[in-house]
Structure 1
């Protein structure tokens, strides 16, 4: 089969013939129809983000595919099924604290590294080997536009964060990083889950305008100034009431002060969910005040990716139209143009912009 291979950090991806994957027990082989290219993929491939990938590796974070082969333990999946392949792989030998790897992308700790060595290759290929439990049937409608449905790679992440934060219908959510690729998804998903109001802070006025046009008066945009106290006051005022839940999805380049300003708008007994990359490349610690957390009974939790069950939930939201894929701007590239796709994704990482690799397109 043909695949795009990262041979070393800092080098362009190389498209070449590699052996077809062979499924073992508890695995399936999938023909990859569409795989999203993350806006920050270039930073992973050039080594800036210091992800624990081990070249040579076929990268790629999940995708839409069609099952080619199922193992003997599959009871419902069949060859020919259209499916979503979740990249978040969990070890099967520790139910309490399972090791985690993102297939073809990243891992956590030595246990995660062992998983990544076994499930080494991702979705920038014609075929991919996936654990059976990471494959989820898609509705027939997804067959008309697999590239658009590959946005599951994005929408599943904030969905997991909002589940972790216990979002309830009618609540006010503040999305820190709302003008970015993941943050704008969090806005859409929060409304789909029943949020009454979403506060969307950001520096990009055009992106804030796009969000306001799409979601109307329940979306409360806030133009950030960079001054922590001023921005916190503006976000609190825009909520026009208590902020129940803050979810942070800012990238590693963002200063911790922006996350802190957003987090400290949350009400007494409110919740803060941290899902972004702040501090991963150095910089100041988040430094939320201990007395503020304790005296206001604030819950602060981290959430890396999402539980397995979240896949079924986000697929339902997309299938119902509650999360509307229609307005998303999707640009597709064939496998032979993978480096053009990576460059395009880096330059088009705004709200609801998607870059998608179609391995069969040449």
Structure 2
């Protein structure tokens, strides 16, 4: 049985990664072995690693090595061995995987087109991450799905959550890290609303400002050192970056008119600090699975999933005009793009796909 190759990440310093091999485990009754084919790398994966303990992302794919973890990624795999009635050898699945060559799951039926990993260690973890959707043969759309679906799902859920809260009465919605794919998706959804009561303001680094402006999703684009140019009107801040200095400056600039401050991502994980002593409202963490659960209760089963699928297709259809795919062959080739993403060196116009096997 071939050894399992994986990329271990230092949980205390996520820029430190190493390749590792371990023996493949023999399957028990009810288990399935998945050979991971490909996955996407985005700033989302950096957030998973940076919040691995706080949110629980290290729990999905535990390893025995103390202080080491497997960063979750979104991608595709095929069933290469099955001792389960729910999956047959040869089936392909889209879902949540480790940076590794394989994953063993214990599938449980979940509707006609998906299974859920019923492994005991995944009990209590958000369902959206435990579901694996059946997909057809490998297609040209696979890279876009791996890159965009989890990010745009978050974008749409943020848009839906803001709408659900009547925009918090804001006259402007400020999106931090507006050049990130999640940020761009949110700006796009916000911009297309007819008769919207707010302006969309994108915050980004100086090197990405022209790119964000060209896409046309924002009414205004400011760089991080231009926070003092923000209009002092009723506002909401949706922060994808987690940059403590920017958050401090923005809260101070909008003291008295900032109606809500939402923390979503940590693309600037190395500049994150606990929000102590901030002017205005205390930042609240936005957890996408919680909005999914709320909408399932509001609307019934399957409605929010359909809306997310439709929203993702809309953004993906437009992505070809601004997104360039870059393929990396071999699991070990994932480390450099992950390091670039973690260091803020990645080009927002590039999407990284790792072909494992």
TM-score, normalised by the number of residues in structure 1: 0.62
User: What's the C-alpha RMSD, in Å, of the aligned pairs?
Assistant: 4.4
Q: 1:50 to 1:139 in 2, by over 3 A?
A: closer
Within-5 A mapping of 1:153-168: 153-166=150-163
Paired residue secondary structure (1:287): coil
Q: How many angstroms apart in 2 are the aligned matches of 1:193 and 1:31?
A: 42
For residue 127 of structure 1, the aligned residue among 86, 98, 102 is 102
Give the CA deviation at 1:21. 7.7
Contiguous gaps of at least 5 residues in structure 2? 106-115, 118-126, 294-303
Q: How many angstroms apart in 2 are the aligned matches of 1:322 and 1:266?
A: 35
Number of matched pairs: 297
Give the CA deviation at 1:175. 0.8
Q: 1:195 to 1:129 in 2, by over 3 A?
A: farther
Give the CA deviation at 1:125. 1.8
Q: How many angstroms apart in 2 are the aligned matches of 1:51 and 1:328?
A: 28
Q: How many angstroms apart in 1 are the aligned matches of 2:88 and 2:192?
A: 31
What corresponds to 1:96 in structure 2? none
1:85-138 C-alpha deviation (Å, 9 max, x unpaired) = 14xxxxxxxxxxxxxxxxxxxxxxxxxxxxxxxxxxx42122224544533537
For the 8 Å contact 1:165–1:271, the answer to whether it is kept is no
Q: 1:58 to 1:359 in 2, by over 3 A?
A: farther
Q: 1:354 to 1:190 in 2, by over 3 A?
A: farther
> 2:241 matched to 1:247?
no
What corresponds to 2:222 in structure 1? 222
Does 29-38 or 189-198 show the bigger shift? 189-198
Give the CA deviation at 1:258. 3.8
What corresponds to 1:102 in structure 2? none
For residue 36 of structure 1, the aligned residue among 20, 34, 40 is 40
Paired residue secondary structure (2:318): coil
Give the CA deviation at 1:320. 4.1
Q: 1:4 to 1:192 in 2, by over 3 A?
A: farther
Give the CA deviation at 1:6. 1.4
Q: 1:195 to 1:23 in 2, by over 3 A?
A: farther
Paired residue secondary structure (1:343): helix
